[in-house]
């Protein structure tokens, strides 16, 4: 999994956020569309695409999209 | 000998999913009120743990995978007539609707709906229901009452079983067999560990409940009522157990 590919797919999980607005350095929890439901969607996305289980708490513990990428890679 | 309308003395009660959580609590509380129990579950060790917690003698435990048709048939042929059945086996799987896959739906429905329905059909076919028996399904407020993000598959399966129970109640009414559902909201059980939430989220969620989350025995007491002669006029009902969640 490449970082750029992850960022692109991560951005695709959002419906009302312009994909260009999401980059590796985006603090995803500050996105206007971020909610408990989008968190659930990201958990499912990571599970489906990468076969890795992340929890809500782990998702909250990371800051940028790249941080999340690194965290998932390390699992 | 326990007496009174809520007594289960002299009643043979069959409970599925008795190896943990709500099912275990139902078994324990029913035994205190004098029921003779037949309990099943998938995990032998935990099922024996439940057995060791029961009051009274003569209880039977049997490790049973409710998705194994041959095993179920062999089991049913060897049990006595039943005065009560509690369908408690259930699983939880969380996914936002856009990520729901057919395999996940199948898994949830297999345990929460199909296995219960098939088992119930066999009970009737093998004439295991005594006259005046009481059947209780553990449904959920998820069955069309309260929506939670990610809970669609579980909700659908519980909605299906709740609707099924209504028709079963009608069909069994000539035999004076009663069929009811209990619909608990959030209960603190090991099942909670399988869903994608953590303690912080749970604590926040619990604030929506005037009485807080429920305990397994809160469900058990409601089930005891429905199994007992105190509920002899009650059939086809959905008993809401929600600690006040849906008051507003």
| B4 is a domain residue | no
Residue percentage of chain B with pLDDT more than 90: 85
Residue that is written with structure tokens 């998705």 in the block? B67
Identify the closest residue of chain A to B95 by CA–CA distance.
A44
Please indicate whether, in this complex, the C-beta atoms of B95 and A44 are within 8 angstroms of each other: yes
- How many CA atoms, within 13 angstroms, populate the side-chain half-sphere of residue B2? 19
pLDDT digits (tens, 9 = 90+) for B86-123: 999 999 898 999 999 999 999 999 999 999 999 999 99
Cβ contact B198–A55 (<8 Å): yes
Does residue B6 form part of some domain?
no
State the pTM of this model.
0.90
Q: Nearest Cβ partner of A40 from B96, B198, B200?
A: B96
**Residue A57 in contact with partner chain B when CB distance is under 8 A:** yes
Sign of the C-alpha dihedral computed for residues B26, B27, B28 and B31 taken in this order? positive
Q: Confidence class of residue B175 from pLDDT cuts 50, 70 and 90?
A: very high
- pLDDT of amino acid B215: 96
Residue B7 domain-assigned (yes or no): no
Contacts of B80 (CB under 8 A, 6+ apart): B12, B128
Q: Dig out the tokens for B4 from the structure.
A: 């009174």
What CA–CA distances, in Å, run from B240 to A56, B31, B186, B246?
Answer: 29, 24, 12, 9
The confidence score (pLDDT) of residue B105 equals 97
Q: How many residues does chain A have?
A: 75
The total domain count for chain B is 1
**Rounded Cα–Cα distance for residues B123 and B145 (Å):** 30
| Confidence band for B197, pLDDT divided at 50, 70 and 90 | low
- The CB density around residue B88, as the number of other CB atoms within 10 Å, is 28
- The answer to whether residue A44 neighbours chain B at the CB level (below 8 Å) is yes
Active-site residue (options: B154, B209, B213, B225): B154
d(CA B118, CA B163): 15
> Does B202 score more than 90 pLDDT?
no
What SS3 state is found at A69?
helix
Strands of the sheet containing B238-241, edge to edge, are B60-63, B36-41, B12-15, B82-87, B129-138, B178-184, B238-241
ipTM of the modeled complex? 0.74
Our answer to whether residue B154 is catalytic in this structure is yes
pLDDT of residue B191: 59
Find out if CATH 3.30.450.40 is the number for domain A3-74: no
Chain A CB contacts of B149 under 8 Å are 36-37, 40
In a domain, B228, yes or no: yes
> Residue B173: what pLDDT?
96
pLDDT in tens, B41-51: 999 999 999 99
Distance from CA of B98 to the nearest CA of A (A): 8
Residue contact B149–A37, C-beta within 8 A: yes
| B165 pLDDT above the threshold of 90 | yes
Question: Which residues, 6+ apart, have CB-to-CB distance to B174 below 8 Å?
Answer: none
Stronger pLDDT, B4 or B202, i.e. the higher one: B4
**Residue B3 within any structural domain of the chain:** no
- Give the integer Cα–Cα distance in Å for B35 and B28: 10
Average pLDDT, 10 consecutive residues per value, chain A (75 residues): 92 93 95 92 92 90 96 92
How far off is chain B from A23, nearest CA to CA, in Å? 23
Sign of CA dihedral B149, B151, B153, B158: negative
**In a domain? residue B235:** yes
> Does some domain include residue B143?
yes
Nearest CA in chain B to A47: B99
Nearest chain A residue (CA) to B98: A41
Burial of A9 (0-12, 13-18, 19+ CB in 10 A): middle
Q: Is the dihedral of CA A6, A8, A12, A14 positive or negative?
A: positive
Share of chain B above pLDDT 70, in %: 97
- pLDDT above 60 (res B3): yes
pLDDT, residue B196, reads 55
The residue extents of the domains of chain A are 3-74
- Average pLDDT in the B167-181 region? 97
pLDDT for residue B33 is more than 70: yes
A37–B96 CB contact, under 8 Å: yes
Q: How many Cβ contacts (< 8 angstroms) between chains A and B?
A: 30
The pLDDT value given to residue B195? 53
Q: Which two three-digit tokens encode residue B193?
A: 């560990």
pLDDT at B2: 85
Residues spanned by the domain of B220: 12-247
């Amino acid at each position: 999994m490449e970082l750029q590919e992850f960022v692109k797919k991560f951005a695709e999980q959002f419906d009302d956020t312009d994909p260009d607005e999401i980059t590796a350095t985006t603090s995803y929890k500050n996105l206007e569309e971020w909610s408990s439901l989008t968190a659930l969607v990201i958990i499912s996305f990571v599970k489906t695409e990468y076969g890795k289980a992340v929890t809500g708490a782990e998702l909250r513990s990371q800051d940028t999209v790249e941080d999340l990428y690194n965290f998932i890679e390390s699992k | 000998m326990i007496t009174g309308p809520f007594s289960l003395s002299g009643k043979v009660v069959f409970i599925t999913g008795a190896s943990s959580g709500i099912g275990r609590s139902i078994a324990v509380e029913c035994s205190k009120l004098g029921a003779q129990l037949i309990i099943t579950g998938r995990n032998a060790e935990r099922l024996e743990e439940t057995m060791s917690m029961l009051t009274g003698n003569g209880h039977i435990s049997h490790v049973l995978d409710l998705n194994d048709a041959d095993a179920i048939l062999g089991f049913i042929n060897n049990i006595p007539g039943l005065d009560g059945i509690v369908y408690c086996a259930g699983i939880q799987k969380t996914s936002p609707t856009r990520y729901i896959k057919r395999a996940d739906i199948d898994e949830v429905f297999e345990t929460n709906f199909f296995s219960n329905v098939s088992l119930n059909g066999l009970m009737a076919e093998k004439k295991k229901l005594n006259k005046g028996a009481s059947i209780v399904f553990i449904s959920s407020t998820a069955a069309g009452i309260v929506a939670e993000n990610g809970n669609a598959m579980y909700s659908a399966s519980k909605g299906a079983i709740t609707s099924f129970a209504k028709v079963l109640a009608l069909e069994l009414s000539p035999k004076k067999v009663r069929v009811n559902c209990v619909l608990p909201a959030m209960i603190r059980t090991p099942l909670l560990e399988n869903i994608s939430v953590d303690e912080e989220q749970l604590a926040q969620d619990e604030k929506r409940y005037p009485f807080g989350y429920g305990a397994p025995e809160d469900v058990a007491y409601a089930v005891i009522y429905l199994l007992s002669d105190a509920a002899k006029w009650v059939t086809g009902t959905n008993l809401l157990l929600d600690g006040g969640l849906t008051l507003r």
